[in-house]
């Protein structure tokens, strides 16, 4: 490649994002000259391959790509988490089999023929819907992220966690969600004038329950039946879940069973003792629903080792509960200078957005970071800004900037700057 | 529901598509009144559920959702097809495990550490790329359909095939594809001035091979590494395939191994004796690359039986190799009258687009059809128009209108109109 064609736009070798748009960048020094006169055929070209099959599984060579840090609270088997391995993924869609989990008492084994959704409370006509009934209503689909409000809480640890990025930021994923707009079902039951909230319960054994303002329920809420084209999988709410685009994950109640229309929130366990935000004066802020603007570099990240000095792609994901991502900036000199990343073509509202930059790494120790801005003008804060502005005891809604350090030997570690 | 709020826009009860956009439609008559005072808890609510897991599999209740009509030519195990079960799917993304297959001698078991992509021929610097090298180049991602040019060939049968729609139209699927723009790699090797074509070979045992005009290779062609966020699966080309948005499927050569830059097409078996279009004068038209504008109603379709008379959703997919879908029209009276369907929010270029209409079925025998128009103004032809304008022996690039008949008892069958 001809380095003279690349334009440095920020300190320490960050290259112009337009290189991604016009294809004017070459990749580096690891290329090999082809043998003249042809190439030997590998073994797999010398005999017919495997037959077609009813299900197309991943390659056995990719068996390391699975949810990470699967764990449950002491004395339980289903009260815990598993994380999406973004360090191995690309694009804006997360395969359903790798979508993170956060369950409060495991995954119920639901018979879809017996499951019902009940809508009752301050309504004219309380109704019960089975899957067949829901299947006759208008359906819509759209691509959105889903993020647990506890995602990235590990970034609050006093020392940087040295683990793959998914162990810190793996409670977010992107999917196409399809289902019946909740507004249609609420119109069907006839919401009374004094109604202001809905209370959604799951069919898991703890009946995980959250209060949702009626305005959101009537806006873009779905009773989701499909994820990435197929029926929801059990670990994401089969046969149906609430889905609230852009809002903290556990409000999108899985295994949705009842919706009660009320004039006030229910003040359930999971919106009072948990999923609330401790303030500096010791009070707890309830109902902080939308997820803040955020980004993280997925490659390179902890555990992915760079080869020799040369040009590398920096890639990651950005998202905001307030709408579209407007820009993502990259620094490769620890925040001294920044330049815009290129965004992949589909920049969708309340969706993961994929960003990329090209970096000519000179082999010296470097700190790389990303900073997202959404279409409302909100800018992702630094970790320090976040800690300064919140109570020391806060946990949810961490959206600070993630920094990775690249050592001289190419090893990538988690650092605080 | 109040039928008076619904507006009939075409014969036999087709309702206004705006009902999908403003949520003013109710679903029908199969709703049940909720029991007063609460609902009994099902068994699955009485004990903790299953633990989190490294992989989230589909529900066992959905095990019928798999590729259909898996078959191979006589005497072979890997020369055949499997079909995407669109009759069970929704949205615009197809799960990778259900993406159709069309292989010419099975799926090679490729070691990604040994696989190489060689680019040679009319170039300044023939080069060999391993996966690590490709991983350092700029990557992009986008959502596109992939359709075998033989898709829907079964619609040429003298009598309508009575089988699920996937057996006829299941050789199309929608995915997010991510990879390195081929233009960047061609710039890297330095294409000579006299070059006009590339010849792409696969690493399967027959080395499936197609010629691609250089203009397309330099436009939006990818060396795809990712599908729906994860690495390609073996049945879709692991570890890398060519991907040509909007063009007939087998040109997107799976298991991509060599690209030879040339000044003329190679006239390979799969662009001469196959994948060419017989004309009325007996000659064969070569190189009919883009897939035509097309749509099919996926629900209701063959094998899905309607319940009692009432309101139903009609839903399906539309796509065009020429760009975005501009409109989809629906008829529920065998083509006498038509009205526009609603399109889901993401109408993307060279991608599946999901359409919906609401239909008040009166219980009488009815014929339902969809007709797509793309942004270039091309309109999907009727089956009769297609047969009239082509040779009797043609097979590839069938994009005629599909009609389904709904009988008085709700059974749906394949019909020609």
The reported pLDDT for the residue numbered A273 is: 83
Number of domains in chain A: 2
Size of interface A-B (CB pairs under 8 A): 440
* Residue where a domain terminates, one of B221, B254, B285: B285
Test B225 with A50 for CB contact under 8 angstroms.
no
Residues B233, B377 share a domain: no
pLDDT for residue A5 is more than 70:
no
Test A1 with B188 for CB contact under 8 angstroms.
yes
The reported pLDDT for the residue numbered A283 is: 85
A136 interfacial to chain B (CB closer than 8 Å): yes
B193 interfacial to chain A (CB closer than 8 Å): no
The reported pLDDT for the residue numbered B31 is: 41
Residues B246, B196 share a domain: yes
Test A48 with B106 for CB contact under 8 angstroms.
yes
The reported pLDDT for the residue numbered B273 is: 83
Enclosing domain of residue B380 = 294-415
Residues B302, B275 share a domain: no
Search chain A and give the residue with CA nearest B120.
A34
The reported pLDDT for the residue numbered A26 is: 44
List of chain B residues whose C-beta atoms are within 8 Å of the C-beta of residue A47: 205
The reported pLDDT for the residue numbered B339 is: 96
Whether the CB-CB separation of A94 and B65 falls below 8 Å is answered with no
Residues A341, A259 share a domain: no
Compute the distance between CA of residue B348 and CA of residue B357 in angstroms, rounded to an integer.
20
Search chain A and give the residue with CA nearest B91.
A229
Side-chain half-sphere exposure of A113, counting CA atoms within 13 A: 3
Residues A132, A187 share a domain: yes
Whether the CB-CB separation of A413 and A302 falls below 8 Å is answered with yes
* Residue where a domain terminates, one of B247, B266, B285: B285
Test A138 with B226 for CB contact under 8 angstroms.
no
The reported pLDDT for the residue numbered B282 is: 84
B75 interfacial to chain A (CB closer than 8 Å): no
Say whether the peptide bond before residue B300 is cis (omega within 30 degrees of 0). Answer: yes
* Average pLDDT of the residues in A337-345: 97
Test A90 with B229 for CB contact under 8 angstroms.
yes
Give a yes or no: residue B137 inside a domain: yes
290-349 in chain A: CB under 8 A from chain B: 307, 310-313, 315, 344-346, 348
pLDDT for residue A32 is more than 60:
no
Test A19 with B235 for CB contact under 8 angstroms.
no
The reported pLDDT for the residue numbered B256 is: 98
CATH number for B348: 2.60.40.650
Mean pLDDT of chain A: 92
A44 interfacial to chain B (CB closer than 8 Å): yes
Compute the distance between CA of residue A251 and CA of residue A209 in angstroms, rounded to an integer.
8
Residues B268, B301 share a domain: no
Residue with tokens 């297959």: B101
Give a yes or no: residue B88 inside a domain: no
Nearest-by-Cβ selection for B90 from A88, A205, A229: A229
Give a yes or no: residue B130 inside a domain: yes
List of chain A residues whose C-beta atoms are within 8 Å of the C-beta of residue B35: 128
pTM: 0.95
Give a yes or no: residue A40 inside a domain: no
The reported pLDDT for the residue numbered A246 is: 98
Nearest-by-Cβ selection for A51 from B62, B77, B207: B77
Three-state DSSP class for A43?
A: helix
pLDDT for residue A126 is more than 60:
yes
The reported pLDDT for the residue numbered B278 is: 85
Q: pLDDT-based confidence at A15, cuts 50/70/90?
A: confident
pLDDT digits (tens, 9 = 90+) for A275-294: 888 888 888 888 999 999 99
The reported pLDDT for the residue numbered B237 is: 98
Give a yes or no: residue A172 inside a domain: yes
* Residue A140 parent element (H or E): strand A140-147
Compute the distance between CA of residue B377 and CA of residue B320 in angstroms, rounded to an integer.
11
* Residue where a domain terminates, one of B254, B285, B316: B285
Low-confidence ranges of chain B (pLDDT < 70): 1-6, 18-39
Residues A258, A139 share a domain: yes
Give a yes or no: residue B165 inside a domain: yes
Residues B199, B163 share a domain: yes
More confident site: A303 or A345: A345
Q: pLDDT-based confidence at A38, cuts 50/70/90?
A: low
**Residues facing residue A295 across a β-bridge:** A318
CATH number for B169: 3.90.420.10
Give a yes or no: residue A397 inside a domain: yes
Residue with tokens 């749906």: B412
List of chain B residues whose C-beta atoms are within 8 Å of the C-beta of residue A99: 56
B377 Cα to chain A: minimum distance (Å)? 24
B2 interfacial to chain A (CB closer than 8 Å): no
Backbone angles phi, psi at A77, to 5 degrees: -115, -15
Whether the CB-CB separation of A28 and A310 falls below 8 Å is answered with yes
Give a yes or no: residue B90 inside a domain: no
The reported pLDDT for the residue numbered A393 is: 82
The reported pLDDT for the residue numbered A23 is: 43
pLDDT digits (tens, 9 = 90+) for A216-258: 999 999 999 999 999 999 999 999 999 999 999 999 999 999 9
Nearest-by-Cβ selection for A188 from B26, B94, B174: B26
List of chain A residues whose C-beta atoms are within 8 Å of the C-beta of residue B52: 67, 70-72, 78, 80-82, 101, 103, 106-107, 235
B64 Cα to chain A: minimum distance (Å)? 10
Residues A364, A337 share a domain: yes
Token pair for residue A145? Answer: 């992220």
pLDDT for residue A385 is more than 50:
yes
Cα dihedral A208/A228/A137/A348 (nearest 10): 90
Residues B315, B195 share a domain: no
How far from B86 is each of A294, B89, B330, CA to CA, in Å?
Answer: 35, 5, 18
Residues B320, B182 share a domain: no
* Residue A362 parent element (H or E): none
Test A231 with B95 for CB contact under 8 angstroms.
no
List of chain A residues whose C-beta atoms are within 8 Å of the C-beta of residue B128: 31-35, 39
Residues B343, B258 share a domain: no
More confident site: B278 or A208: A208
- Give every CB contact of residue A377 below 8 A, 6+ residues apart in sequence: A326
233-272 in chain A: CB under 8 A from chain B: 233-236, 238-239, 258
């Amino acid at each position: 490649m001809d380095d003279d064609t690349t334009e440095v736009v920020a300190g320490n070798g960050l290259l112009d994002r337009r290189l991604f748009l016009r294809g004017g960048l070459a990749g580096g020094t690891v290329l090999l000259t082809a043998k003249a006169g042809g190439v030997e055929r590998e073994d797999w070209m010398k005999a017919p391959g495997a037959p077609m099959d009813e299900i197309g599984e991943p390659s056995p060579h990719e068996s390391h790509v699975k949810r990470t840090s699967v764990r449950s609270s002491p004395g339980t088997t289903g009260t815990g988490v598993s994380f999406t391995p973004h360090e191995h993924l690309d694009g804006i869609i997360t395969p359903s089999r790798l979508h993170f989990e956060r369950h409060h008492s495991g995954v119920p084994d639901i018979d879809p023929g017996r499951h019902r959704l009940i809508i009752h409370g301050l309504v004219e006509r309380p109704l019960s819907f089975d899957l067949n009934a829901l299947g006759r209503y208008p359906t819509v689909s759209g691509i959105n992220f889903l993020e647990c409000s506890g995602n990235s809480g590990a970034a609050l640890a006093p020392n940087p966690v040295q683990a793959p990025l998914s162990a810190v930021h793996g409670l977010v994923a992107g999917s196409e969600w399809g289902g019946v707009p909740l507004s249609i079902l609420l119109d069907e039951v006839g919401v009374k004038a004094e109604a202001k909230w809905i209370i959604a319960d799951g069919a898991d054994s703890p009946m995980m329950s959250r209060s949702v303002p009626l305005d959101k329920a009537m806006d873009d809420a779905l009773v989701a039946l499909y994820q990435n084209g197929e029926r929801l999988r059990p670990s994401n709410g089969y046969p149906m879940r609430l889905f609230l685009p852009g809002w903290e994950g556990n409000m999108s109640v899985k295994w949705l069973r009842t919706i009660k229309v009320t004039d006030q929130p229910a003040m359930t366990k999971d919106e009072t003792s948990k999923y609330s935000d401790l303030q500096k004066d010791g009070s707890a802020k309830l109902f902080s629903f939308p997820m803040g603007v955020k980004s993280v570099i997925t490659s390179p990240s902890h555990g992915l080792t760079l080869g020799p000095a040369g040009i590398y792609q920096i890639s990651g994901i950005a998202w905001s509960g307030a709408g579209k991502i407007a820009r993502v900036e990259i620094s490769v000199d620890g925040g001294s200078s920044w330049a815009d990343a290129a965004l992949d073509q589909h920049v969708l509202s309340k969706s993961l957005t994929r960003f990329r930059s090209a970096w000519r790494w000179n082999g010296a120790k470097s700190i790389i970071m990303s900073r997202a801005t959404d279409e409302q003008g909100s800018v992702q804060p630094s970790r320090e800004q976040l800690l300064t502005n919140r109570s020391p005891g806060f946990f949810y809604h961490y959206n600070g900037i993630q920094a990775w350090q690249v050592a001289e030997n190419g090893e990538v570690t988690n650092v605080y700057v």
